[in-house]
Amino acid sequence: MKLMITGGGGFLGARLARTLLRRGTLDGQRIERMVLTDIAPPPADLVADARVEARTGPLLMQTDALRAESFDGVFHLAAAVSGECEADFNLGLRSNLDSTRALLDALRAHVNAGGPVARLVFSSSVAVFGPDPAVPMPALVADDTLPAPQTSYGVQKLICEHLIADYTRKGYIDGRAARLMTVTVRPGKPNGAASSFFSGIIREPLAGVESICPVSADVSHPMTSPSHTVDGLIAVYETSREAFGGRLALNLPALNVRISDMLDALEEVAGPAVRARVRFERDERIAGIVANWPRGATAERAARLGLRPHDNFADIVRQYIDDCAALPNANETLQGMNR
């Protein structure tokens, strides 16, 4: 099969690519070619794989190339993140809405020309949920909770969910949208996402660096790990249309935890000296965005696909440490645990 991962140079897209290449198959088909598109090139180990082709540049600028070939499957992960979309409205429109529409129209063109219907998995977000005076947000958002996003990023993700549902209804794609919970611990440096600190308060202390938490310790949010997220995306791809249960998006599983729970887990795994590197300093901009996010989530439809959240946050911290141990600079990455 021929597969494309948009956002394939990012940490989640690269992890998905590695997982699929290691498996060698997807939905029972042998992966013969994988196209990774992103603004930045993918990691060297992926480029070195003979099955991989890297395409660098904005997805919106690759429309002609997309129309020139067909794909059996697509994982659409590419997006501008939440903080970026709030700071630059036009960037969010281009990167999230315009690019998705261009991708869907390229896939539609192949079907109209008599080609096969591609299966597409879209990475939506828990950010589609939010409070509204007319529709209060429940303590736990569910698959059937009415979305009322309070950020441009969340609005754009929700619009894309509906576009994918409509293109699926028309037979142009076999589309499935999965709402990702906040993924932590993300490796590397902080990014422009408003949720970046959820990883920073674990990642930086483990590396011996002070981290600032911009919200209070009692803030609660649905979390998951990179590995569970990748497993969820693959499961959504491989499930039948009937088992998926409709065209509308489903929630991926989450562990509902407070900031204090996260820091307790950090201390359990790495000790009190590491936890002490987290300092609370409120940022009204970030706190205002987070206040409109869900405090927790459920995922009954994903559970019927066999997907489950982690048992506790300490397991997520340990997974990050294990991931770092496999990196060339593992000693530098986790040097803080030995101080």
Tokens at residue 96, please? 């999230």
Q: What is the DSSP letter of 93?
A: I
Q: What percent of the chain has pLDDT over 90?
A: 85
Cβ(129)–Cβ(149) below 8 Å: yes
For β-strands 73-76 and 2-6, DSSP reports them as: parallel
Cβ(60)–Cβ(94) below 8 Å: yes
Residues of the chain with pLDDT under 50: 330-331, 339
Complete domains list, the chain, with CATH: 2-183+225-251 (3.40.50.720), 196-221+256-298+312-338 (3.90.25.10)
Bond preceding residue 155 cis, omega within 30 of 0: no
Over residues 79-100, the pLDDT tens digits come to 998 889 988 999 999 999 999 9
Catalytic residue among 153, 167, 237, 320: 153
Asked about 153 being catalytic, the answer comes back as yes
Over residues 125-148, the pLDDT tens digits come to 999 999 999 999 999 999 999 999
